[in-house]
A and B are shown apart, each in its own frame.
Chain A
Amino acid sequence: MKTLIFHIGADRYGLRLRDVVRVLPLLELKQLPQAPASVAGLMDFQGRSVPVIDLCRMSGVAPALDQYDTRIVLADYRAPDGESHLLALLAERVLGVQDVSDAALSDSGVQAAPFLGQVASDRHGIVQLVELNQLLPESLRAILFQPSP
């Protein structure tokens, strides 16, 4: 299974490649006043406005730095009601695509943030999968995806 490897803080995490729509360089974001701290802002993708979530803030570490390998990962978010939304994730040190074999994956055994899934070990250390479906809590989802009138 192919994953996009990136960092949250000092640790490596992986996002399933099938959830990823496009990787984009860091852009200037439109700020959203009075939005929750984990919402970094709003971006424009081919004429559509897409909310941007800072994964570092979401995880409770220091916000993502403006480095050359900090990227915006455009993902296809499927809500529990089955509706599909474009969601942009701000990720630090995006290293690239890595093949993680399903056999290597195992549960972490520790209940931390709801969106952290299975872990796999390789020669660089442990990679934990990020479950995109679990990423947004109910309240945040309600804020981000207002039903269109």
Chain B
Amino acid sequence: MNNLSIKRKLYLGFSAIVAVILLLLALAYQNFTRLSDANEIDKHTMEVLQAIAGLRNDLLQVQVEARGYYLTGSEQRMEQVFKELKDLPPSIKRLQDLTSDNPNQVARLKRLDELTASWAHDIIEIQVKLRRELGDKAGAADTMGHTDQLKQGSPAIKAVYLALDEAEAEENRLAIQRGKASEAQQQRMQSVLIGGGVVCLVLAMAISLLLVRTLLKPLANLTQAVKQIAAGQQSARADVISNDELGHVTQQFNHMAQAIQDSLVKEQEATNLLKSKVDALLIVVSKAASGDLTGRVSISGSDAIGQLGQGLSTMFDNLRTLIENVQKAGIQVTTSATEIAASAKQQEATGIEQAQTSVEVLSTTKEISANTSQLLKTMEDATAVADYTTTATADAQANLNRMDATMQRMVSATDSINAKLAALSEKASNINSVLITITKVADQTNILSLNAAIEAEKAGEAGRGFSVVATEIRRLADQTSVSTWDIEQMLKEMQSAVSASVMGMDKFSEEIRRSVNEVAQVTTQLSGVMDQVQKLAPQFDAVLQGMQSQAVGAEQITSTMMQLNDATQQTVESLKATSEAVHQLQYAASDLQSGVASFAVTV
């Protein structure tokens, strides 16, 4: 059992349960078949009983139809009788077929067949024949009722019915017997089902219990071992009980526990190695801490401690170099301090010289201050002159403005003169037109006088006086012409004079305009000058203020120089102090040298 795998164990358990259930099902099926057979037999018995009842019914039908014929004598009824008679043999045959397995019934039915045949032949056929002979005679039915056969009550038919009753009783008995057998069958079936169910249940429980036990025991073993290892008992192992999957797991677990134990031992060894290396390092470092840097680190390798050893080795090398450098630097510092002391002495001398120079600067500054005061006075005078210039320029501007106004008036006067001249020219033109009219009139008069003279001449002696008048008129007209020509000449001269005047006036006004422009320019320039002069005053003020501030500045320079003098003195003092400090530095440097010398650096 222990050598089987879990899968097979499960398969076996469940197969056993399934086999028991299948057995139970086979038993149940067998019982059901038997019950079904019993039912079939019951049904057969019922069919036999039914066939007996059918035969009985057929017999009754024959009797009824025969009696109907007896009474009525109708041919139709007779045919019906024979038809019913024909039905009897098939019914009996069917009954025989159904009961062929029962010899008692076979014998009985054979007898019944014979009885029925004799009844049909001896009684029914004879009586029917009789009735047919009687025909439609009156009292035929009555005659029929008094036949022997009818009177005797037909013992034949009674025997038939008796046989039928016997057959029925036989079948009923058989039915009761078979019902009992069927009931017993049912009882057996029930007991088989209950017993089988109980057996199945018990078997299933037993198999389950067995399976659980085989699975849980190795697991409990394994858990126990894990708990022991967890508690620190490295050598704890689980027992291998079975050869199944859990057995394999247990084996693997044991291997694993062994591996862990082995690795722990290895780790212990590594730790010991590390400790020895660290101890070696510690020795070198302790030496270094006490000032001896000659120790060498012999540990190497690619692991962390090896790298640490290499790092320490490098560090010691660097430290050695550093200390050597520091020793050298100490010597250098000492040298430098000596140099600084020398230069401080020099500076001190320079400071004293500077103090003397400051005194000289001070006296010079005082002179500057005095000069500045004089300059200040001069500037004040200049300011007064500038103010005067400003007022004078303002007056000049006012005069120029007046002149400008006068010029403007002249321009307007010239314009009006021009206008008047234009009017004059127009008037002259008017006169000219009047003159033209006069000339025309004179001309007409001339022609008129000519014609008058001609007419007078033609009149001869009578026109003599008229001729004189015409001549006179002509003379007047000529005079008018001459005067007109004179006036015309004068007018032309006047017009040319007016034109010249207009041109002259134009030129004059042009001149005035130019003058006005020039005056305006001069005014603008004067304004500019005035502005400049007015600006000059504040600038003078600014210069004045500058001068004053310069004077103040000179005083400040004086005081500053005095302060500088003091500062120089202080510098000299501090230089002395520096000298002292440098001496101290020299001492410190020699201390440093001796301190660093305590380090052993040469290997």
Contact = CB atoms under 8 A, between A and B. Distances in A.
B457 A23 contact: no
Contact of A97 (B439, B443, B447, B453): B453
Interface string A87-104: 000000010110000000
B447 A17 contact: no
A4 interface: yes
Contact of B474 (A2, A18, A69, A96): A96
B451 interface: yes
Interface of B is mostly: helix
Interface in A23-47: 23-25
B224 interface: no
A23 B451 contact: yes
Contacts of B450: 4, 23, 71, 94, 96-97
Contacts of A94: 450
B457 A68 contact: no
A21 B508 CA distance: 62
Given A68-B439, A68-B443, A96-B474, A22 B457 contact: no
A17 B443 contact: no
Contacts of B439: 68
A71 B453 contact: no
A17 B453 contact: yes
Given A25-B443, A25-B444, A68-B443, A17 B451 contact: no
Contact of A17 (B449, B457, B474): B457
A43 B458 CA distance: 24
Contacts of A68: 439, 443
A130 interface: no
A120 interface: no
B454 interface: yes
A68 B439 CA distance: 9
B488 to A, nearest CB: 12
B447 A23 contact: yes
A129 interface: no
Contacts of A18: 457-458
A71 B457 contact: no
Q: Give the interface centre of B443, B444, B451, B454 by most chain A CB atoms within 10 Å.
A: B454
Main secondary structure of the interface of A (DSSP, over half): strand
A22 B458 contact: no
Q: How large is the interface on A (under 10, 10 to 19, 20 to 34, 35 or more residues)?
A: 10 to 19
Chain B interface size band reads: 10 to 19
B454 A17 contact: yes
A71 B458 CA distance: 20
A20 interface: yes
Contacts of B474: 96-97
A66 to B, nearest CB: 13
Contacts of A24: 447
A24 B450 CA distance: 9
A124 to B, nearest CB: 15
A39 B369 CA distance: 120
B453 A2 contact: yes
Contacts of A97: 450, 453-454, 457, 471, 474
Nearest to A21: B454
B451 A2 contact: no
Contact of A71 (B447, B449, B471): B447
A17 B474 CA distance: 16
A48 to B, nearest CB: 18
A86 to B, nearest CB: 15
A11 B449 CA distance: 23
A59 to B, nearest CB: 22
B447 A25 contact: yes
Contacts of A71: 447, 450
Interface string B430-453: 000000000100011011011101
Interface string B474-485: 100000000000
Nearest to B449: A96
B457 A2 contact: yes
A90 B457 CA distance: 22
Contacts of B457: 2, 17-18, 97
Contact of B454 (A23, A25, A69): A23
B451 A22 contact: yes
Given A22-B454, A25-B444, A68-B443, 19 more contacts: A2-B453, A4-B450, A4-B454, A17-B453, A17-B458, A18-B457, A18-B458, A22-B451, A23-B447, A23-B450, A68-B439, A71-B450, A94-B450, A96-B446, A96-B449, A96-B450, A96-B453, A97-B450, A97-B454
24 contacts: A2-B457, A4-B450, A4-B454, A17-B454, A17-B457, A18-B457, A20-B454, A21-B454, A22-B451, A22-B454, A23-B451, A23-B454, A24-B447, A25-B444, A68-B439, A68-B443, A69-B446, A71-B447, A94-B450, A96-B446, A96-B450, A97-B450, A97-B454, A97-B474
Listed from nearest, the 3 A-B pairs whose CB atoms lie closest are: A97-B453, A23-B450, A17-B457
